[in-house]
Structure 1
Amino acid sequence: MPRGRGVLRALAGLREGEAPLALAQLRGGQSFARGVVVSKIKNARTMLRRNHAAAEPAVLSELDQLARKAAEAPSLASLLGLEGTAARAYFGAFPGMLKGPDEVRGAFDLEGRNRRPPRDPVNALLSLAYALLAKDLAVTLGTVGLDPLLGFYHQPRFGRPALALDLMEELRPIVADSVVVAAINNGVIAPDDFQRHGDAVALRPAGRKKFLMAYERRMDQLVTHPVFGYRISYRRVLEVQARLLARVLLGEVGAYPSFRTR
């Protein structure tokens, strides 16, 4: 989307007091991209450390090193490359987080991340979880006066909630991926909940309903916020992080406080 149209969209129909925030969003915010990618990599490492049956030290070490490099990435292109390398390492180890009988784990096997369309059950669940989280973040960003279409890490494109995708990066492992792992390991979703159409795999309606309920339960789960130290739901985390980003853009906070779990 051309930047001029983005300006018009961002400023059109704003409530009183929101214009300064919209202008601040258009001027800056790119510096927080490194922070959310670092947090995404670190949160992915935490997911493996907590849930993998026997996470390889080499993989955990690689993720540590990639997070350190991402913190000093000199350009958006280099940051994208580091994130891609980290994702391959993480999803290469992802099956080790799935538990249960061999026949069940075999049904949920995957060969890395694939999408558009997802070609296996795990990727079908991941794609759905990411879509749900992006939707919730887009709504939340709008309520705090930020335009969800104007991103900094994900470049603006017509109809794409780029800023929601930016803010979602650090939450993917600990919210969306966690829902997928728990739904499989707890037997909420079974292999027969899926159907195949050509190369694409998708949930049947009954399976989709069960997964939506699992997602909502995760969003209602309490977690200690790493900055403020009090317990809030993951749904509330979305709002807190959006408001923190708004304060950064307005110059009220020096740097975006990323959300990381230990």
Structure 2
Amino acid sequence: MRKLLNTLFVTNEDAYLSLKGETVIVEVGKIKVGQFPLINFEEIVCFSYRGASPQLLGKCAERGIGVSFFSPYGKFLFRVIDNENGNVLLRKTQYHVSDNEDQSVLIVKNFIVGKIYNCKWLLDRTMRDHELRIDLDKLKKAKEILSERVKQALNIGSLDEIRGVEGEAAQVYFSCFDELILNQKESFHFQGRNRRPPLDNVNALLSFGYSLLTNECFNALQMVGLDPYVGFLHRDRPGRKSLALDLMEELRPVLVDRFVLTLINNRQIKEDDFVLNEGGAVTFTESGRKLFLTEWQNHKKEVITHPYLKEKVQWGIVPYIQALLLARYIRGDLDGYPPFLWR
């Protein structure tokens, strides 16, 4: 359980929530593990199959406290709110911002600053920990360029310029991504990003991880009441989860890229976990996909200190925190959207 941004996160999949007086009780089995005054919360987020009592849901609806339910794997199930506490005003503001390039830029440049900064962090960590196993000069040069792109992104005034800076930064970052692969080089070599379909083992890992992260961001945005299909950087297209794609940008390097490199470098995933299909597409074997998903769930349970909130959280909650922060900025509760800058 974690109290953040006036939100109670319940991450134990065996937890059951009930009402006692003016408090919410959290039980695992028949053991009470938490009790919190309802007056402290605007939202309750539960990653549990056991759910909550009708009395608690009724009291929350009466108080205007939203209650969102997800599966333990992060799939959005449903949300309970009262009749008057819908998200129409938040979404109307979101649509207005999306239609206004100047206002969109204020959010997008923070997404991209976060992305480039976190790419730079991943290079920096490899340089620090594995100096003798990499092309140090190549990574130093890439890091310097990324530092300059962060400064550029902070001072850009149009979406096209931001896209240009992001594209250049991505090219520099991925040009040295192969240096970050320290083991199993014969099976996991990276010569550039490719997708739809991925043509090598590393791209298959990245694409699958990005898909999972997109879905987590989509679910998080639904929880806070934002429209996941209306973005600020990724523009409207039928069926495209544009805002989810926006939100995931800053989290790609630290949540997916780092995870993929760990699987490879720790030899947790191997060559025989992939299949080369006719036409050149690379996909997982059934056992390979299961391994990835199992380790992904374990990774999401790891506890970190959120760089903005300065509080302990699980990795899996980070997309939900960022979605909450984004919603608060759009509502006018924050002066700017704080990107996730990993340290």
Match of 1:41 among 109, 116, 136: 116
Q: Do the aligned partners of residues 14 and 59 (structure 1) sit closer, same or farther apart at CA in structure 2, a change above 3 Å counting?
A: farther
Return the structure number with greater strand share: 2
- The equivalent of 1:19 in structure 2 is 88
CA distance in 2, matches of 1:233, 1:203: 27
CA contact (8 A) 1:36 1:169 kept: yes
| TM-score normalised by the chain length of structure 1 | 0.90
Unaligned 5+ segments in structure 1 are 1-12
Counterpart code for 1:110: F
CA contact (8 A) 1:188 1:211 kept: no
CA distance in 1, matches of 2:264, 2:120: 20
The two structures, once aligned, show a CA RMSD in angstroms of 1.5
Unaligned 5+ segments in structure 2 are 1-80, 98-102
CA distance in 2, matches of 1:260, 1:137: 17
**Aligned-pair CA distance for 1:15:** 6.0
Q: Using CA pairs under 8 Å that are at least 6 residues apart, name the structure with larger relative contact order, 1 or 2.
A: 1
**Aligned-pair CA distance for 1:213:** 1.2
The share of aligned pairs that are identical, in percent, is 38
**Aligned-pair CA distance for 1:173:** 0.1
Q: Which shows bigger deviation, 37-46 or 23-32?
A: 23-32
CA distance in 2, matches of 1:147, 1:15: 19
Counterpart code for 1:166: D
Residues paired across the two proteins, number:
247
CA contact (8 A) 1:151 1:162 kept: yes
CA distance in 2, matches of 1:152, 1:142: 16
Secondary structure, aligned partner of 2:186: helix
Q: Do the aligned partners of residues 19 and 63 (structure 1) sit closer, same or farther apart at CA in structure 2, a change above 3 Å counting?
A: same
CA contact (8 A) 1:126 1:180 kept: yes
- The equivalent of 1:192 in structure 2 is 272
- Structure 1 residue ranges, 4+ long, deviating more than 3 angstroms after superposition: 13-16, 52-55
Are positions 1:119 and 2:119 aligned together? no
Match of 2:156 among 66, 73, 77: 73
Match of 2:232 among 152, 155, 175: 152
- The equivalent of 2:166 in structure 1 is 83
- The equivalent of 2:147 in structure 1 is 64
Larger radius of gyration: 2
CA distance in 2, matches of 1:210, 1:186: 13
Q: Do the aligned partners of residues 206 and 131 (structure 1) sit closer, same or farther apart at CA in structure 2, a change above 3 Å counting?
A: same
Q: Deviations over 1:183-240 (max 9, x none)?
A: 1111111011111112211111100110111211221111111111111012211111
Return the structure number with greater helix share: 1
Secondary structure, aligned partner of 2:276: strand
Match of 1:109 among 189, 213, 231: 189
CA distance in 2, matches of 1:89, 1:46: 14
Q: Which shows bigger deviation, 43-52 or 175-184?
A: 43-52
